[in-house]
Structure 1
Amino acid sequence: MLKNSRIYDYVVKNLCEELNTILTQIPSIYKEKAEEIRLRNGGPLTISYGARDYFISANGNISCDPSRAVIIREEHIKNTFQLISNYSVYAYEEEIKNGYITIKGGHRVGIGGKVIYGSNGVETIKNISSLNIRIGREVLGVSDNIISYLVKKPRIFYNTLIISPPQCGKTTLLRDIVRNLSNGFGSLDSQGFKISVVDERSEIAGMYKGMAQNDIGIRTDILDGCLKSDGIMMAIRSLSPDIIAVDEIGNKRDVEAINEALRAGIKLIATIHGSSLEEVKNKSSMKELFEENIFERFLILDRSKGVGTIKEIIDGFSFKPIYSGKSD
């Protein structure tokens, strides 16, 4: 696997030549930790990690002072956008409608600009004013020590909900859980589960030209760029999964599709934004799932020990903690 600094160097090759040259010069320690690169028209060139912003000068120096940074111009954004879309905006129009483009390696570039509506909703984004390059790094093994809490021997998976504030590693953890469940794991003598990943935002598998850029296991099928509600139904009808995995559930259609999967005897692992179990329980869209006691395990994440810290695992029957990250 590429070291984090090499992943960073690969990602910045997707930026225009001037910015690529500048960003390649930053110290390796920042390359290894960078989570996002921000280009805002008229704003400072910025990288971020650990919930902090750092500004980049013309010679690659890092500063907390934005006045020392390179100022992004319209041509920087225009030329970078052409590169990430391979000079064919038409080929990426479906992704652009959703506000992003996925580049090779599974990294996602968020797009800001003028949103154009048509009869069928959002048609495209024009007059691009900002780009947010999110550097995706899979962390293999991050779920190894908690898989046993999610499976009852020999092959019963507990319906699991991962609860996490933004940028706390929920997708990274979900991806690695899928990998472990799909491949099988020796400590539980599992042969592995058939898993269908409904990857609406192309962040779990990181598909690029039909190939997953991330390791999501040998028994995993992917429905890429597909609405969760549609993808869950498609998986039920045609992919015969043991488990369906989805990221960021929340609306009524998601809940309806989840109930269909459960009625079909399929297990579920999902993520949702939130800082606590109580906060998620109080969301109106989740009321039905909690009334029916759908979820049997809750994984609560925070950043107390860095991105992806598992604060605790809560049993869905007793609602008591069965694992605490503090004990690690």
Structure 2
Amino acid sequence: MLKEAEWAQIEEIRIRTDRPIELMQGGKPRFLSYHTTGEDAAQLLGRLSNYSMYTLEEELKQGYITISGGHRVGLAGKVIVENGFVKGLRDISSFNIRIAKEKIGIALPFLPYLYEKHWCNTLIIGPPQTGKTTLLRDLARLVSTGTTAISPRKTGIVDERSEIAGCIRGVPQHSFGHRIDVLDACPKAEGLMMMIRSMSPEVIIVDEIGKSEDVQALLEAIHAGVTIIVSAHGYSLEDLSKRPSFEPLWQLRVFDRYVELNREKGPGTIGRIFDQEGQELKRRRGVDVC
């Protein structure tokens, strides 16, 4: 039986039919003795869908479900394909429950780097499970609420995977300021343009950019005068610079700041921070970098 403090450290719960339950704590796996049965999997899926699989039709195409609290449940099983397109899942045998961690205040140490009379166009870089989404979530809160020295900004979140805001029926499940608007489950490229046209944001926050169409939409947003704060998968700025789809961003020097995250001291460990020219910024007083 896990203690309360141990439950608080859990990042993922993986449930697989005929296999032991796996818990991820501090980046390390831990297996429980109980083996999940097919009946367990069916009951879990029933509860996730409120016993109406029809209501999950769109989510099953994406391979995950967002539940109350902003937590996300990834699914794996038999994929249904029609005319080359994924139509859904059946015979689901694997569940990955990713625990959404709302860590209010973790973005504060970044303020001296990401705000200089205005919010900087920022790219947050890190491999999976380094806290990119958690940091983006708190930055969204900070930008939309402001501080004693910084006025709140109209902030838009394009949340394709429902991970930043964790919306349920369009309502964010996490704490944000009054000046926040969310496009939930919307593809990033289309969502960026929709957000600009419909909500006139001053700052837009997007998770996990990567495709060429994402990059083109970011360029359009910047040309429209919108500040962008986004994340991308990568081990370092050097690693990301090798991706062809990102080439226009480097050529036009779109970003004022690059932030690298890693897991050296747990998720969200600050690595290096670079300026627009790719020069590493030195540690500033009162800010613990690394």
Alignment TM-score > 0.5, same fold: yes
Q: 2:31 aligns with which of 44, 51, 55?
A: 55
In 2, distance between residues paired with 1:102 and 1:91?
12
Q: How much has 1:185 moved relative to structure 2?
A: 1.2
Match of 1:81 among 45, 50, 57: 45
Alignment of 1:235-254 (within 5 A): 235-254=195-214
Contact residue 147 and residue 177 of structure 1 kept, 8 A: no
1:91 aligns with one of 46, 55, 58? 55
Alignment of 1:108-187 (within 5 A): 108-119=72-83, 121-153=85-117, 156-186=118-148
Query: How far does residue 27 in structure 1 lie from its aligned partner after superposition?
Result: 2.0
Equivalence for 1:304 = 264
User: Which of 198, 203, 206 pairs up with 2:166?
Assistant: 206
Q: SS where residue 109 of structure 2 aligns?
A: coil
Counterpart Cα distance in 2 of 1:284 and 1:215:
36
Question: Any idea what the Cα deviations from partners look like across 1:269-313, whole Å, max 9, x if unmatched?
Answer: 100011111001111111111111011101110112221111121
Counterpart residue identity of residue 216, structure 2 = E
Cα-Cα RMSD: 1.5
Match of 2:6 in 1: 30
Letter in 1 for 2:19: G
In 1, are the aligned partners of 2:153 and 2:203 still within 8 Å (CA)? yes
- Consecutive unaligned residues in structure 1, runs of 5 or more: 1-24, 57-68
User: In 2, Cα distance between the equivalents of 1:316 and 1:165?
Assistant: 21
1:234 matched to 2:161? The reply is: no
The 3 A distance-change label for structure 1 pair 219 and 121 is same
Contact 1:312 1:323 (8 Å CA) reproduced: no
Per the alignment, in what secondary structure is the counterpart of residue 161 of structure 1? strand
Q: Which has the higher contact order (CA 8 A, sep 6+)?
A: 2
SS of residue paired to 2:43: helix
2:176 corresponds to: 216
CA contact (8 A) 2:137 2:165 kept: yes
Amino acid at match of 1:177: L
State the shift of 1:119 in Å.
4.0
Range that drifts further, 310-319 or 251-260 = 310-319
1:92-145 alpha-carbon deviations (Å, 9 max, x no partner):
211221110011000000000111122482111111010011111100000112
TM-score by length of 1: 0.84
Superposed CA offset, 1:203-230 (max 9, x none): 1001112321111322110000000011
Post-superposition offset of 1:49: 1.5
